[in-house]
Structure 1
């Protein structure tokens, strides 16, 4: 039985202190992980360390011993996941005080991607997951009602939809600016929580909403407006500035013109 945990007063584990990867062994995926736990001297040595793999409703949990004695389990096979899940699988790392009946989360990293050495050195974060599902007659939609990351749902009934996402410039130019707009609008207008008042500008934040605000700031060069203090027009103008700079950076106009023979 999977134990439930109390998340009160937890520390945030920085992604720069983690290295998570998925390794193939004769076609079987398994987890490799390094956690620089010595960067967190405030954590008690007997606190348990868990790494969880998840993708949508699929889930595997692995015990990595304790803070004072990290021991990877012998069996780290990602048995709950298909090969199609590997691109968008995510991980969370928990340090848990299990001295009480209900374990208390002492430290947490959520939404961690398995990345290559180059990506780790560049300190990149995954901002958007992709999940092929049956959408009827719709091509795509966004799922923003979760605590992981935003998910781009694409219609699994379209042949080679994953290849289309990766290689088709027209799809990218038509869809991704709208994705940027919808996500930022959700955060600044419709999200129940206010993520615009985070005390630190930290792109490594546990909350995907805050990471997207940092992404928008990096695009536009301007700090995001406060959700409850800023005028509606000011929030809309900041979002449009982010979308415009995204299109400029990705050369959306030039790519579309070339595809249309312009």
Structure 2
């Protein structure tokens, strides 16, 4: 489907104005659906009759859902993602569009919104590195980094208790998290690959980098060789703070302590 909407001078919709949850298929092989909570649009001084659309996309597939107008928001009853690639990670754009005076002009938007996952403690708080679970074949984990969207750590749903083990086992944490962080920093600190500086997720990772290294992210953007060294140093600092190896040793020692019968 061709997108013909232009975008000049748009306002930004906040995370707490757009909350999307996924619903698994009701029958095996059926389409996924989504639930969308859209709120606070009428407090943004937007035209009351401006149209609101939710757009779902994954890989090369795309669907648009008409959600009424600013003063009469109404998410469709049928939100089946029949045209979205099955098994792919779905992102959503929410757009407020002027279809009166300036036909097709986006006047407010939220881009690359990820559905809230049940493991998140706070629906209104976006995790620095959200975690999802999908069938990854024989891979135990992978990092999902779509263009201009917050990275997501994906665990293989075939691995029993994968999320619980990630949260509790320092060996698994140490094997996965530093490698994922290196991949993310390689992207966000590279001026040719990272997202726009005004993207919330990019700012979040810049803040994390400053806290981990005490350095300004701009220093890592200047030269590729120096950037690689700084990224690896940030990863080592993170591992030192989390004490992955030490905690693994302590856990093994506790397991080896004999118990009195």
TM-score, length-scaled by structure 2: 0.69
Q: CA deviation at 1:258?
A: 4.6
Q: Deviations over 1:92-134 (max 9, x none)?
A: 211112347862222221232332684125x224645666557
Contact 2:128–2:204 at 8 Å: present in 1 too?
no
Q: CA deviation at 1:177?
A: 0.2
Note closer, same or farther for the CA distance 1:5–1:162 as it changes in structure 2 (3 Å cut).
farther
Task: State the distance in 2 between where 1:162 and 1:55 align.
Answer: 27
2:53 aligned residue: 50
Contact 2:22–2:34 at 8 Å: present in 1 too?
yes
Task: State the distance in 1 between where 2:85 and 2:128 align.
Answer: 20
Task: State the distance in 2 between where 1:40 and 1:119 align.
Answer: 24
1:17 aligned residue: 17
1:247 aligned residue: 239
1:188 aligned residue: 189
Matched residue SS, 2:217: coil
Q: CA deviation at 1:49?
A: 0.8
Q: CA deviation at 1:219?
A: 4.4
Q: CA deviation at 1:37?
A: 0.5
Note closer, same or farther for the CA distance 1:222–1:13 as it changes in structure 2 (3 Å cut).
farther
Contact 1:111–1:148 at 8 Å: present in 2 too?
yes
Q: CA deviation at 1:20?
A: 2.3
2:122 aligned residue: 119
Contact 1:132–1:153 at 8 Å: present in 2 too?
no
1:63 aligned residue: 66
Task: State the distance in 1 between where 2:101 and 2:181 align.
Answer: 43
Q: Deviations over 1:153-184 (max 9, x none)?
A: 78x8xx92585465254343112202212221
Task: State the distance in 1 between where 2:71 and 2:208 align.
Answer: 36
Contact 1:31–1:78 at 8 Å: present in 2 too?
no
Matched residue SS, 1:214: helix
Matched residue SS, 1:177: helix
RMSD, aligned α-carbons? 4.1
Give the total of aligned pairs.
244
1:93 aligned residue: 94
TM-score, length-scaled by structure 1: 0.69
Q: Quick one: higher RCO (CA 8 Å, sep 6+), 1 or 2?
A: 1
Unaligned runs of 5+ in 1: none
Structure ID, larger Rg: 2
Unaligned runs of 5+ in 2: 255-261
2:158 aligned residue: 160
Note closer, same or farther for the CA distance 1:81–1:164 as it changes in structure 2 (3 Å cut).
farther
